[in-house]
């Protein structure tokens, strides 16, 4: 019987085994192996966590500018209001939203900048100004954030004065009362040293775990009989132990080959 010419040789499934090995390696993540690799790399993890925490401490302490916030408070209540006048109370509560809008007007920013002779723009003032209304109250908290604590208190108090006068003049209503003046803050509101150090520590932990994970995924060497079964699906027929050529003192033992040559 004639054999067809140019017939490619048949391989004993080596390509299929290699392909299956690669697919299994890419699709399977052994969490137990990852856990033990993380334990084995505890020195690396500890070093990177410590490095991350120290880096965050240094950046926060020496490179980031502390910000201080001072707050003054005005009370939206007409002198004609009383505790039993519920209609006036409801109107006053609704007016707080209108008063909050006043603090975003350029006229108020301009007067504050002019009165205190500040070198800032409207955008800067609006960015560092906060006006909030506590729920179920008619009090407005006027806060200003600045790297200078004295400036933060002066600007917050000036906003309260200017806004109160602006509201009374333009809205034809009673002037809101300033019930609390801003004091010079002693502690910065940002950055938070504790928060940044914890974040730096966690970043170091994530980075070190990522390094260990990448090393495990890129390691395609078969080291044990279990690796052969796991990645190829083949069964081990026998295991040949490696011969130890060292004596009890750890010295290499030389043996002679059939040709009489010494071999380590």
- Residue span(s) of the chain under CATH 3.30.70.1130 come to 68-180
Cα-trace Rg, the chain: 38
Owner of token pair 């520590």: 201
The answer to whether residue 207 scores a pLDDT higher than 90 is yes
CB 67 within 8 A of CB 81: no
CB 173 within 8 A of CB 167: yes
Strand-pair partners of 143: 71, 130
At 239, list the tokens: 């295991």
What is the three-class DSSP state of 105? coil
What pLDDT was estimated at residue 241?
72
What pLDDT was estimated at residue 216?
85
| Mean pLDDT, all residues of the chain | 80
What percent of the chain shows pLDDT beyond 90?
Answer: 50
Model pLDDT for residues 160-202, shown as the tens digit of each residue: 999 999 998 888 778 888 999 999 999 999 999 999 999 999 9
- When pLDDT is cut at 50, 70 and 90, the band that residue 248 belongs to is low
What pLDDT was estimated at residue 77?
65
Whole-angstrom Cα distance, residue 95 to residue 91?
6
Label residue 37 exposed, middle or buried (CB < 10 Å: 0-12, 13-18, 19+).
middle
Model pLDDT for residues 140-161, shown as the tens digit of each residue: 999 999 999 999 999 999 999 9
What pLDDT was estimated at residue 92?
55
Average pLDDT over residues 195-221: 92
- If residue 126 lies in a helix (H) or strand (E), which one and from where to where? helix 122-128
Model pLDDT for residues 64-88, shown as the tens digit of each residue: 999 999 999 998 865 555 444 555 5
Provide, for the chain, the percentages of residues in helix, strand and coil under a 3-state DSSP scheme, each rounded to the nearest 5: 50, 10, 35
Whole-angstrom Cα distance, residue 208 to residue 40?
12
CATH number of 68-180: 3.30.70.1130
Sign, CA dihedral 120-126-127-129, equals: positive
The answer to whether residue 257 scores a pLDDT higher than 50 is no
Strand-pair partners of 74: 140, 178
Sign, CA dihedral 21-23-26-32, equals: negative
Range name among 44-53, 109-118, 251-260 with the lowest pLDDT average: 251-260
What pLDDT was estimated at residue 202?
97
Average pLDDT over residues 47-52: 96
What pLDDT was estimated at residue 226?
72
Label residue 5 exposed, middle or buried (CB < 10 Å: 0-12, 13-18, 19+).
exposed
């Amino acid at each position: 019987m004639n054999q067809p010419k140019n017939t490619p040789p048949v391989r004993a499934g080596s390509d299929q085994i290699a392909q299956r090995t690669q697919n299994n390696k890419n699709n399977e993540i052994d969490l137990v192996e990852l856990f033990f690799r993380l334990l084995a790399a505890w020195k690396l993890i500890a070093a990177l966590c410590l490095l991350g925490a120290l880096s965050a401490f240094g950046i926060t302490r020496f490179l980031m500018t502390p910000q201080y916030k001072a707050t003054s408070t005005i009370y939206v209540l007409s002198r004609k209001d009383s505790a039993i006048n519920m209609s006036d109370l409801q109107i006053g509560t609704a007016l707080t939203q209108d008063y909050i809008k006043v603090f975003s007007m350029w006229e108020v920013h301009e007067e504050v900048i002019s009165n205190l002779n500040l070198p800032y723009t409207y955008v800067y003032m609006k960015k560092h100004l906060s006006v909030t209304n506590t729920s179920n109250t008619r009090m407005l908290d006027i806060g200003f954030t600045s790297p200078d604590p004295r400036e933060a208190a002066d600007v917050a108090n000036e906003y309260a004065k200017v806004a109160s006068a602006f509201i009374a003049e333009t809205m034809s209503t009673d002037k809101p009362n300033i019930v609390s003046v801003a004091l010079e803050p002693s502690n910065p509101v940002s950055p938070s040293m504790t928060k940044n150090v914890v974040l730096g520590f966690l970043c170091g932990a994530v980075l070190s775990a990522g390094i260990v994970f990448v090393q495990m995924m890129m390691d395609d060497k078969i080291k044990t009989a279990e690796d052969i079964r796991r990645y190829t699906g083949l069964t081990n027929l026998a295991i040949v132990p490696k011969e130890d050529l060292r004596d009890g003192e750890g010295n290499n033992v030389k043996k002679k080959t059939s040709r009489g040559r010494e071999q380590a």
